[in-house]
Amino acid sequence: MVTKTQLTKAEFTSLNLAAASFALVVYDHIITFADEVTFFWSGSWSTSRILYLSIRYLALIQVFFVYYANINIAESGSPLLSRVFILSYILAFMVMLLCQCVVTLRVWYLFHRNPFIKWLAVIVFIASMAGTVIIGSIRFGYVKVAYEINTNDPSQSPPAVFMIYLPSLIVHTIMFSLTMYRFRVSSLQGHQIIHRFLKEGIFMYAFAAGTLVYEIISLSLTQPQDITIYYSALGGGIAVGTTVVSVCRAMLSIRSLAATYHVDPSWLLSHAEISRVQWRRGVTEGEIYVEVNELDVVLPTTSLTEEGGVQKCT
């Protein structure tokens, strides 16, 4: 049986976590807003631009709804709060799916010349998306019951709803494993850019998988003595917040690096192309020197001039 004291403590803990998630997303948005304007507010529309802006602003709305719902948890029977709950629930899964799409595209470009792994990544993503929609729809009623335990029947134990996060954890784990495999077999393991991609991939996976595992474990605890942990995970704000911050940071980093080297971001992400080229940075910012014997490589640059035995890309 869930006592009133346990519910009060659970609501207080849940509110703190919702506030922390909201603060994390807002703070990260503020400190990266200048870069966002520089790299994503201008130029032609692309898949990465649409994904970044969708993830960033849908996540802001979602964490705000979760925070608002936790502040007004005592009015859980009101029509307004019910709508807020439904919207936050839908937005949480939309944002998580968009983040999975970014990770999948990253693998797609890394395996630029391997159709089997490229389409394997796409199939895994589609299966995860279908699983998320199906499980999320089936378990929606159970999540709503869990939210309303404190007003309907405190003697109930909350239902197990951890399965709603399993597809996300699976797709992140598979994509990270493929990324690690790509860098392991690379001939450029010691290159600075490769280390940067690998580091970003590890951080992105650590934040996403870590919070998803937390959600899964917490939502599988349905005993009264575990209600505090359960309620803290129920909103899903921490999983959305940390995943969004790590994914958006990685996307900004790629755009920044591409601008530094004056190349297209998709070319920079294509590790298959990087590994085929013998190149080094020039003496001037934004220059890349490529050996001319690599005649089958075409760099997406604005101009080419020949100097001695190398081509200078600017």
The domains found in the chain, sorted by start residue, are: 4-272 (1.20.1070), 282-313 (no CATH)
**160 band by pLDDT with thresholds 50, 70 and 90:** confident
Whether the Cβ atoms of residue 281 and residue 288 lie closer than 8 Å to each other: yes
Question: pLDDT digit string (tens) for 70-80?
Answer: 888 766 667 78
- The tens digit of pLDDT for each residue in 79-90 reads 788 888 888 888
Structure tokens at 130: 């279908």
Q: Are strands 304-307 and 310-313 parallel, antiparallel or unpaired?
A: antiparallel
Rounded to whole angstroms, the Cα distance separating 262 from 96 reads 31
Q: Which residue has the higher pLDDT, 58 or 198?
A: 58
- Residues 265-285 pLDDT 10s: 665 555 434 444 455 555 565
In order of 52, 80, 115, 170, 293, the CA distances from 112 in angstroms are 22, 48, 8, 23, 22
CA distance 64 to 22: 6
Check pLDDT > 80 for residue 33: yes
Q: How many CB atoms lie within 10 A of CB 105?
A: 20
pLDDT tier, 55 (very low <50, low <70, confident <90, very high otherwise) = very high
Tokens of 199: 């580091």
- Residue pair 273/56 in contact by the 8 Å Cβ criterion: no
pLDDT exceeds cutoff 60 at 19: yes
Kindly report, residue by residue over 140-155, the tens digit of the pLDDT: 888 887 776 655 555 6
Q: Is 264 left (phi over 0), alpha (psi -120 to 50) or beta?
A: beta
Q: Please give the pLDDT value at position 64.
A: 92
Question: Packing angle between helix 79-110 and helix 47-71, nearest 10 degrees?
Answer: 150
Calpha distance 277→27 (Å, rounded)? 39
